[in-house]
Amino acid sequence: MLQLENVTVRFGGLTAVNDVSLSVGSGDVVGLVGANGAGKTTLFNAVSGLVRPTGGRIVFDGRDVLRAPMYQRARMGIGRTFQIPQPMHELTVRQNLMVAQRFGTGAIDERRIDEILDFTGLAPKAGRDAATGLALTELKALEVAKALATNPSLLLLDEVLAGLETTAKRHFMNMLKQLHQQFKLGILIIEHDIETISKLCQRVAVLNFGQLIAEGEPADVFSNPAVVKSYTGADIGGDAEPTGGARHA
Ligand SMILES: Nc1ncnc2c1ncn2[C@@H]1O[C@H](COP(=O)(O)OP(=O)(O)OP(=O)(O)O)[C@@H](O)[C@H]1O
Ligand SMILES: [Mg+2]
């Protein structure tokens, strides 16, 4: 479904994503982790078309999408959320979904919007001003709802679970599991919490200073000394490569 081949993103002298190759198969749930500033969001931006990589290839459903603008990538099936919720000001929750739907599909389907409002628990808030009338959990739900409104086959989720309290987090995780199991969406999810990633994902990829330093099943990856060191700065022994003093989340 999604193949990244040697993707590099530079901002001036800073290499935010460095030669990353990674694939997400149809219906896979893959975690993307790494310390603050590791390049996770930048990688999402490269896939969704918000930043142009300096090098490499991004292939989605067999097509090279590197030159495709954001809306075309959305229409091909790449949906995303933003780390900092970005509702459109002076529009209601429902109107926000309509804008996202038109962006991602080129048309409006009110029935589908009702389904998404129900699915994300936002139906009672549909008429609220999205920028001023929502609590954090609802803003996060709106991010997911907007991404779903673009009708994706691959969902890129940027820390949608961060900052949620336990009950809300459980609710979100059930929602994501349903998206995967019932609706067969592929999911690439950025998340700092190791337990959450281990519960949700079949595979996890670790970025450290822009480089992919490990990839595999969560249990294996999170017991890899190089990964632990990149997360915590602590050396737990083994044959860890020096990874530099990565900052903890
Ligand atoms: N538009 C930009 N211009 C210049 N530098 C940028 C830009 N976007 C990101 N960066 C830099 O690229 C690096 C990677 O940032 P990015 O936001 O991708 O990290 P992240 O892994 O998502 O971190 P976090 O966990 O804090 O969200 C950082 O050093 C950041 O300051
Ligand atoms: Mg980020």
* pLDDT tens, residue order, the chain (249 aa): 999 999 999 999 999 999 999 999 998 999 999 999 999 999 999 999 999 999 999 999 999 999 999 999 999 999 999 999 889 888 999 999 999 999 999 999 999 999 999 999 999 999 999 989 899 999 999 999 999 999 999 999 999 999 899 999 999 999 999 999 988 899 999 999 999 999 999 999 999 999 999 999 999 999 999 888 887 766 655 444 444 433 333
* Number of structural domains the chain divides into: 2
Q: Which of 101, 124, 128 is nearest to 112 (CA)?
A: 101
Q: Which of 191, 217, 194 is nearest to 204 (CA)?
A: 217
Write down which residue in 99, 130, 151 finishes a domain.
151
Residues 140 and 70 in one domain: no
Residues 141 and 189 in one domain: no
pTM of the model: 0.92
36 lines ligand 1 (CB under 6 A): yes
Tell me the two tokens of residue 112. Answer: 């589908």
Per the CB < 8 A criterion, the answer to whether 144 and 124 are in contact is no
Residues 65 and 2 in one domain: yes
Write down which residue in 130, 151, 172 finishes a domain.
151
Residues 172 and 52 in one domain: yes
Ligand 1 test: best mutation among 17, 33, 40, most atoms within 8 Å of CB? 40
Residues 89 and 192 in one domain: no
Per the CB < 8 A criterion, the answer to whether 21 and 195 are in contact is no
Residue appearing with tokens 């190759």:
21
178 lines ligand 1 (CB under 6 A): no
Write down which residue in 104, 119, 151 finishes a domain.
151
Which domain does 231 fall in, by range?
Answer: 1-77+152-249
Residues 6 and 40 in one domain: yes
pLDDT, position 183: 83
Residues 157 and 147 in one domain: no
pLDDT, position 88: 87
CATH of the domain at 202: 3.40.50.300
pLDDT, position 240: 42
Residues 95 and 174 in one domain: no
Residues 172 and 242 in one domain: yes
- CA-closest residue to ligand 1 atom 10: 16
> Across all residues in the chain, what is the average pLDDT?
91
pLDDT, position 234: 64
Per the CB < 8 A criterion, the answer to whether 36 and 247 are in contact is yes
Q: For residue 41, how far is its CA from the centre of ligand 2 (angstroms)?
A: 4
